[in-house]
């Protein structure tokens, strides 16, 4: 393993992206997200993801010079056209208007269109909670997941993420999970290692349950939580697809033309302002949320992002570690 400071990791990421031709603004925004993932030890969303950025570019599926355009769609809706770039800069471009609208209206939506997407949603959720707002976000991906009762891939791994700001400098309550039973990368890992996958992860191309990782990758993944998870996955297709005038996971996969690039679609983000919901009694009521968190941890339940925040503490003092092979690969790309 190679250990490096967060500053060195940032420089490495920026060097790779600049060398690939990404604009200065795209490079900065992408690096912010990649370093946040590495810092919190979400390794699959850390520096490793730069390889995806590079391969997506090689496939001709991302615009390195994209300059997002912000549209004031309605009093409660801001729309950002990412212009075929990665999602990060589009999110940054839309955030000030989203927070302004949420504070004014009480609730507002940010619809990002035409973006290439590879990142965890918690980075964006955290940015919204830092403005004192409650946030909910979701997006489709590529059609890899069968609906409950079905046999063929139709939904994406369709993540949903939620954030709740906390007082006194405490990190926000955030969850961010795929509505698939497991990440696709985990199934690929099982295939590479020749290990059977657990029951419930997927079905083969005939729609039969299987523990053969390769058969699942050729067949379809399943959602978490049976028909309930499947219903949520369908909701995400709808509200982060047709509702915002953007692609479903099936349409994103068709757009890919077998290139294996990152998905191309939209993203829906909602922001709610507790101060508009609660007025002068906001502080009092938000204290009751703290009582809920205390009741969770007191009985041994973990808050969803606890591990990430612990990793963050470590990384801020000790830096981050990546495998030698990844380090060499990134150096060659830089």
Catalytic residues, by residue number, are 44-45, 186
For residues 88 and 267, the answer to whether their CB atoms sit within 8 Å is: no
Query: Nearest to residue 276, comparing CAs of 121, 169, 134, 126?
Result: 134
Q: Would you state the structure tokens that stand for residue 214, as one six-digit string? A: 């390769």
Angstrom distance (rounded) from CA 142 to CA 294: 38
Applying CB under 8 A, which of residues 60, 75, 167, 196 lies at the interface with a copy of itself? 75
The minimum distance between CB 43 and a copy of itself, in angstroms, equals 19
Q: Would you state the structure tokens that stand for residue 60, as one six-digit string? A: 């001709």
For residues 47 and 323, the answer to whether their CB atoms sit within 8 Å is: no
Query: Nearest to residue 86, comparing CAs of 122, 134, 125, 49?
Result: 49
Query: Nearest to residue 153, comparing CAs of 200, 198, 216?
Result: 216
Q: According to CB under 8 A, which residues from 253 to 272 bind a copy of itself?
A: 270, 272
Applying CB under 8 A, which of residues 299, 317, 325, 332 lies at the interface with a copy of itself? 299
Residue 124 as a binder of a copy of itself (CB under 8 A): the answer is no
Angstrom distance (rounded) from CA 42 to CA 146: 26
Residue 144 as a binder of a copy of itself (CB under 8 A): the answer is no
Angstrom distance (rounded) from CA 135 to CA 127: 9
Strand 107-116 relative to strand 264-272, pairing: antiparallel
Residue 63 as a binder of a copy of itself (CB under 8 A): the answer is no
Applying CB under 8 A, which of residues 84, 106, 132, 171 lies at the interface with a copy of itself? 106
Q: In which residue are the tokens 């950025």 written?
A: 53
Stretch in the footprint of a copy of itself (CB under 8 A) among 83-91, 148-156, 190-198, 318-326: 148-156
Q: In which residue are the tokens 């939506």 written?
A: 109
Count, residues near a copy of itself per rule CB under 8 A: 70
Applying CB under 8 A, which of residues 30, 50, 98, 109 lies at the interface with a copy of itself? 109
Stretch in the footprint of a copy of itself (CB under 8 A) among 13-21, 51-59, 84-92, 102-110: 102-110
Residue 289 as a binder of a copy of itself (CB under 8 A): the answer is yes
Q: What residue ranges bind a copy of itself (CB under 8 A)?
A: 73-77, 104-109, 111, 134, 136, 146-152, 154, 162, 164, 173, 175, 177, 179, 224-231, 234-235, 237-239, 241-245, 248, 250-251, 270, 272, 274, 276-279, 281, 285-286, 288-289, 291-292, 295-296, 299-302, 304
């Amino acid at each position: 393993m190679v250990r490096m400071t967060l500053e060195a990791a940032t420089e490495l990421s920026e060097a790779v992206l600049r060398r690939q031709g990404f604009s200065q603004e795209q490079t900065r925004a992408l690096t912010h997200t990649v370093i946040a993932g590495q810092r919190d030890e979400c390794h699959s969303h850390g520096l490793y993801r730069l390889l995806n950025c590079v391969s997506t570019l090689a496939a001709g599926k991302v615009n390195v010079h994209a300059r997002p355009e912000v549209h004031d769609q309605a009093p409660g809706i801001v729309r950002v056209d990412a212009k075929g770039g990665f999602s990060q800069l589009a999110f940054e471009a839309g955030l000030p208007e989203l927070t302004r609208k949420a504070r004014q209206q009480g609730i507002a939506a940010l619809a990002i269109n035409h973006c290439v997407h590879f990142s965890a949603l918690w980075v964006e959720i955290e940015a919204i909670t830092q403005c004192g707002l409650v946030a909910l976000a979701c997006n489709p991906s590529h059609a890899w997941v069968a609906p409950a009762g079905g046999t063929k891939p139709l939904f994406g791994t369709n993540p949903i993420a939620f954030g709740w700001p906390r007082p006194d400098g405490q990190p926000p309550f955030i969850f961010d999970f795929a509505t698939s039973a497991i990440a696709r990368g985990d199934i690929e890992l099982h295939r590479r290692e020749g290990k059977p996958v657990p029951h419930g992860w997927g079905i083969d191309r005939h729609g039969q349950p299987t523990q053969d990782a390769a058969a699942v990758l050729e067949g379809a993944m399943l959602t978490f939580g049976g028909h309930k998870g499947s219903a949520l996955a369908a909701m995400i297709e709808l509200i982060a697809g047709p509702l915002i005038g953007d692609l479903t996971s099936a349409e994103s996969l068709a757009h890919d033309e077998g290139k294996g690039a990152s998905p191309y679609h939209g993203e829906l983000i909602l922001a709610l302002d507790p101060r508009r919901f609660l007025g002068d009694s906001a502080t009092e009521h938000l204290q009751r949320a703290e009582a809920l968190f205390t009741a969770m941890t007191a009985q041994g339940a973990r808050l969803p992002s606890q591990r990430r925040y612990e990793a963050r503490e470590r990384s801020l003092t000790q830096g981050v570690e990546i495998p030698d092979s990844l380090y060499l690969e990134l150096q060659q790309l830089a």
